[in-house]
């Protein structure tokens, strides 16, 4: 089955109650049981079923199984946001005193989270580029995980997943990949060697800009050393499934990070058109990037443009696609604001992956808590504009930016 067919007819797509083609929205808090014993069995994980929506819900489960199939995972756990997915993916395996190695070209919220984690005794060491050469000198006996974005938002650096994963396994730690900007349409990090994938499903997976949501997908191939990963030591008997089981029955459940059934439903509707949207978005982004790059004085960052240092990697790892984000520099903050204020079809809004094109000045919004060094490492300068390209007619998008740049 190819990608678009799998979205509609994959193993995870069920015949739902009454023959419904999409799952009904189980918008409930608790589920009733015919007997106390049946209820106890579900609570004790002796029987399958749903008892309370923070712990499990049929609409949410339908979303999880669909995304899990697309990523080729062993299990998917849906979360209330992309940030909760990243937080829990890390906390599930880390203890105070442990260290993370992360790329610094990350989404600003993730950089802020790593700063927050220092208060819990978890330190992050940042590399400028996610390469083995830069990671190696930062590894020590407390290193427990390597974390990076497949296509960095908004720096658009691409991680060489097979190389980084091979090195991570060589030093005995898992690789977590935030694949929000790539989506399983462009690449499947687990197949490339990563161990765990996280998503902000608020973006391309949902597609309509109508639900904040996230997901963690565990490939369940990493062989945990339970003496080294103390956080998982109580789950030793589950072997390679320890990560998923602790997450599902402990950290995720207790931290109350569940996705709402309504948002899971909206994500399923969105997911069914992921392939079509991504095809159009990637085409539009590349065409717009090329058109803007021809304007004198404007230099565009987009992975598949000639001369971009990640072009060859995009060819090898991302099927030659560059994703839906581009950035360019307007010359000064004032000019960037002027361009943004002059846009007619492109919406001035944060977020990415909406089917509407969105634009923002990241330095004065998403990166206000970052140091100037971290900001620049993420490709964010005072005059940078980030564009999340949508599915509009690309000629209109090009015209819109041309008139805004003239203004």
Site residues, ligand PLP (CB under 6 A): 81-83, 107, 109-110, 149, 153, 178, 180-181, 200, 202, 212, 214, 352
Q: Can you name the residues that pair with 329 across neighbouring β-strands?
A: 384
Least CB distance to ligand PLP at residue 360 (A): 10
Q: Which is nearer to ligand PLP, 153 or 244 (CB)?
A: 153
CB 62, CB 16: distance < 8 Å: yes
Q: Which is nearer to ligand PLP, 344 or 365 (CB)?
A: 365
Q: Which is nearer to ligand PLP, 64 or 178 (CB)?
A: 178
Q: Which is nearer to ligand PLP, 13 or 111 (CB)?
A: 111
| Cα–Cα nearest to 161, from 183, 131, 140, 138 | 131
Least CB distance to ligand PLP at residue 107 (A): 4
- Rounded (10°) angle between helices 261-271 and 58-71: 40
Least CB distance to ligand PLP at residue 151 (A): 8
Residue 230, burial from CB neighbour count under 10 angstroms (0-12, 13-18, 19+):
middle
Least CB distance to ligand PLP at residue 278 (A): 15
Least CB distance to ligand PLP at residue 365 (A): 11
Least CB distance to ligand PLP at residue 106 (A): 7
DSSP class per residue in 31-74? ---SSHHHHHHHHTTSS---SBTTT--HHHHHHHHHHHHHHT-S
| Cα–Cα nearest to 249, from 235, 229, 270, 269 | 235
18 Cβ neighbours under 8 A, 6+ residues apart: none
Look up residue 205 and give its two tokens: 């997976």
Least CB distance to ligand PLP at residue 224 (A): 25
138 Cβ neighbours under 8 A, 6+ residues apart: 101, 125, 127
Least CB distance to ligand PLP at residue 209 (A): 11
Q: Which is nearer to ligand PLP, 58 or 154 (CB)?
A: 154
Beta strands per DSSP E along 6-155: 75-79, 99-103, 123-127, 143-149
Q: Which is nearer to ligand PLP, 158 or 405 (CB)?
A: 158
Least CB distance to ligand PLP at residue 11 (A): 27
Instruction: Report the alpha-carbon distance of residue 379 to residue 157 in Å, rounded.
Output: 9
Q: Which is nearer to ligand PLP, 107 or 229 (CB)?
A: 107
Q: Which is nearer to ligand PLP, 313 or 405 (CB)?
A: 313
CB 25, CB 262: distance < 8 Å: yes
Using DSSP, state whether 360 is helix, strand or coil. Answer: strand
> Which residue sits closest to ligand PLP, CB atoms considered?
82
Instruction: Report the alpha-carbon distance of residue 140 to residue 132 in Å, rounded.
Output: 14
Q: Which is nearer to ligand PLP, 193 or 353 (CB)?
A: 353
């Amino acid at each position: 089955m190819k990608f678009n067919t799998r979205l509609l007819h994959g193993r995870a797509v069920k015949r739902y109650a009454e023959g419904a083609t999409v799952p009904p929205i189980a918008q409930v808090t608790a589920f009733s049981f015919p007997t106390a014993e049946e209820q106890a069995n579900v609570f004790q994980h002796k029987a399958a079923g749903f008892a309370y929506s923070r712990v499990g819900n049929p609409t949410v489960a339908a979303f999880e199984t669909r995304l899990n199939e697309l990523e080729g995972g062993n299990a998917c756990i849906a979360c209330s946001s992309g940030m909760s997915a990243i937080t829990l993916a890390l906390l599930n395996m880390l203890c105070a005193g442990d260290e993370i190695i992360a790329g610094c070209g990350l989404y600003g919220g993730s950089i802020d989270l790593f700063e927050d984690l220092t208060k819990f005794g978890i330190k992050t060491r940042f590399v400028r580029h996610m390469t083995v050469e830069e990671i190696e000198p930062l590894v020590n006996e407390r290193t427990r995980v390597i974390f990076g974005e497949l296509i960095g938002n908004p720096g658009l650096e691409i991680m060489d997943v097979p190389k980084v994963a091979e090195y991570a396994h060589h030093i005995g730690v898992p690789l977590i990949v935030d694949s929000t900007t790539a989506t399983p349409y462009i690449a499947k990090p687990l197949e490339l060697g990563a161990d765990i994938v996280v998503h902000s499903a608020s973006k391309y997976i949902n597609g309509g800009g109508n639900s904040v949501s996230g997901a963690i997908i565990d490939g369940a191939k990493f062989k945990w050393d339970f003496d080294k990963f103390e956080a998982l030591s109580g789950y030793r008997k589950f072997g390679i499934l320890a990560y998923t089981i602790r997450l599902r029955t402990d950290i995720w459940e207790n931290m109350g990070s569940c996705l709402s059934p309504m948002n899971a439903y909206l994500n399923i509707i969105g997911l069914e058109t992921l392939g079509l949207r991504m095809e159009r978005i990637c085409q539009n982004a590349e065409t717009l990037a090329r058109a803007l790059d021809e304007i004198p004085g404007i230099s565009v960052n987009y992975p598949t443009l000639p001369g971009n240092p990640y072009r060859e990697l995009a060819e090898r790892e991302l099927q030659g696609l560059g994703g839906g984000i581009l950035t360019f520099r307007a010359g000064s903050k004032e000019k960037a604001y002027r361009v943004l204020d002059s846009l007619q079809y492109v919406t001035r809004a944060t977020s990415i992956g909406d089917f509407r094109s969105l634009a923002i000045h990241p330095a004065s919004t998403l990166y206000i808590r970052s140091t100037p060094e971290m900001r620049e490492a993420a490709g964010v300068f005072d005059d940078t504009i980030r564009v999340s390209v949508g599915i509009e007619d690309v000629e209109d998008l090009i015209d819109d930016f041309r008139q805004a740049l003239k203004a």
